[in-house]
Structure formats: structure tokens, C-alpha cells
Amino acid sequence: MSVYPIHRGRRIRSSKQMRNLVSETHLSADDFIYPLFVTHEKHIQKEIPSMPGCYQESIDYAVAEAQEVKELGIPAIILFGIPKTKDTTGSDAYCETGVVQEAIREIKKRVKDILVIADLCMCEYTSHGHCGIIDGGEVDNDKTLEYLSQIAVAQAKAGVDIVAPSGMMDGMVKAIRNGLDKNNFTGIPIMSYSSKYSSSFYGPFRDAAESTPQFGDRRSYQMDYRNAREAVAEALTDVEEGADIVMVKPALSYLDVIYRVKQATNLPVAAYNVSGEYSMIKAAARLGWLDEQSAMMEVLYSIKRAGADMILTYFAKQAAGILKIRN
């Protein structure tokens, strides 16, 4: 039964001010985490061809970038490392002088009041490009856990604020929590990539982080995109093991998963607006097929509307600047 003309939905859409007054979803720079790709090279900032506006950066440039991020009101960055050499165990990921550990120390020393998060995985550091230790041609889950614990401790010693394990190994949160606690880092939170799908949208990131697998793929440990209930189960497992924040990755094709995970847990939920999602908008805008700013903001609001408490996005600086002007 229609209630028109008593109810007219257009009444509360009649002006910008009215729409702002009744808006349900709010977005601010406080919601963003900005990813940085830190290279071992010196004094360089090299644009990533498949990710316009994003760079592989030496530590000095990363420090300057972190300062800019802070001034835009963005509370956190997440670091990915590009080491000088790679080996079968990804030793640069857990050695004291690894590129991310050096970057953590320098950023924490020079940029005050910004959270430094470190991605905790092995794929950028291993010669084979997989997220763990290879045994018999496969990633050995249990052997990998000890290495993940070592990486977490190395990052904590360097001064990291949050560790973010992304390898989708069973038991990784428990192993990392135990390693941190045994080394007196009980105060370091874990942001777990709990529901990380095997996705075609990671392509540009693999260019940026130089982390393409040298054989096979990651489908045996990353999730099948046909499944959603499994994502909730993975998130709840990580909660039980000691995660402080759970994540869904990618974001845009998995808004339903963000919503489900948000409903299932009381922890903060992060969502990663990944490289392919970023690059699609950039490419379409360059061709004049859509308006970049409008599409970017629509995507970010949709991720927040789905339930994300925080968004890892390469659009963070651009969006923060727009929100600053609007506010």
C-alpha cells in the first residue's frame, strides 16, 4: 500500500545541507591508513606504473611522506618492504637491519604522533615469492609460524605500533601473540588479515612490492572468493587467538563480507581498498570514462557503510584533502 503523497522521500534530499543533515554514513581522515612501499635503495622516489601517484620510496622519502600524511590528519601508515636481496626464508623480514625495521626506526624518530603499522608477511622477501617456507613444493604452514613470530618480534624491537600478519597461515595470530608476549611486547596490537581472498585485484600491488610468486599461486592459503561464511569463521578464529583488529581484503568486491564480519565480532574491522580497485578508477578517469573524485568518494563511503571502522587505501591522501575542504 503506497503512502504517497503523505510520504515524499525527496523532502530530505532537497538540498546539500539537508542531505548532509540526514546522512547515515560519515567518513573522515581518521578512518584511513595509508600504505607505503619502502625500498632499500637510497634517495629515490620511483612511481609505480600500474599505480599512478604511488611510489617505491627510500626511507628518507618515506619519512617525508609520513609527515605529509600526519599533516592531513591521517592517523596511520602501513609499511611494505622491498629488500636488497631475497632468499628462501625471507631473512630481510626478520633481521635487525631489514628495510622495514630501518624504516620503522627512522619514521618513529622523526615523525611524532603517527601510528606505524608493519605488514607481516614473507612474500616480498622470499626468492620464490610465496608467503611462507617451502617444503616439497608447497608452503609448509607450521614451519612458517616460527618465522612469522620472529618477524613480529623484530618489528616490535624496531618500535612498530601495530603488526599486521597477512599470510593467511593457520595459527599465525596465536604464534605471533605468543612470540610478542614472550619478548615483553604484550602491548603491541595485532591487526590480522583474517579474511584475505585470492584475488585478481592484487596485480598492481605485486608490481609495487615485487612479490609475484615464482611458481604456482596462493590459492591453497588465501581464501576462495566464492565463500563468505568461511570469512566469518576465519575472523572468529583470529579473535580467539588474540587478534585486536580483523581485516577483510579486498574491500570493494567483498562489501557483504565486511558486513558479515562486522556483525559477527565486537572487534574493530579494517578493510583494504586494494591496488586493483585503486588502479581501475585511475585508469578509467584518465580515459575520461568517469569522474575520479566522485568515484573515489563513492567507493570509500560504500566500504564505510558496509561496516569498516578503518580503511587501508591508496586514496587516503587525496580523500583526506577533499574531506578537509568539505569540513
Query: Which residues are catalytically annotated?
Result: 196, 249
Q: How many CB atoms lie within 10 A of CB 183?
A: 15
The residues, ordered by sequence, that sit 6+ positions from 234 with a Cβ below 8 Å of its Cβ are: 194, 195, 223
Distance CA 98, CA 220 (A): 28
Q: Grid coordinates 605485486 are at which residue? A: 206
Distance CA 160, CA 162 (A): 6
* Amino acid found at 67: Q
**Class of residue 73 by CB neighbours under 10 A (exposed 0-12, middle 13-18, buried 19+):** middle
Dihedral pair phi/psi, residue 91, rounded to 5°: -60, -25
Secondary structure (DSSP) of 15-83 = SHHHHHHH-S----GGGEEEEEEEESSSS-EEEETTEEEEEEE-HHHHHHHHHHHHHTT--EEEEEEE-
Q: How many CB atoms lie within 10 A of CB 127?
A: 13
DSSP letter, residue 264:
H
**Contact of 254 with 223, CB cutoff 8 Å:** no
Distance CA 100, CA 39 (A): 9
CA distances from 177 to 76, 152, 188 (A): 21, 9, 9
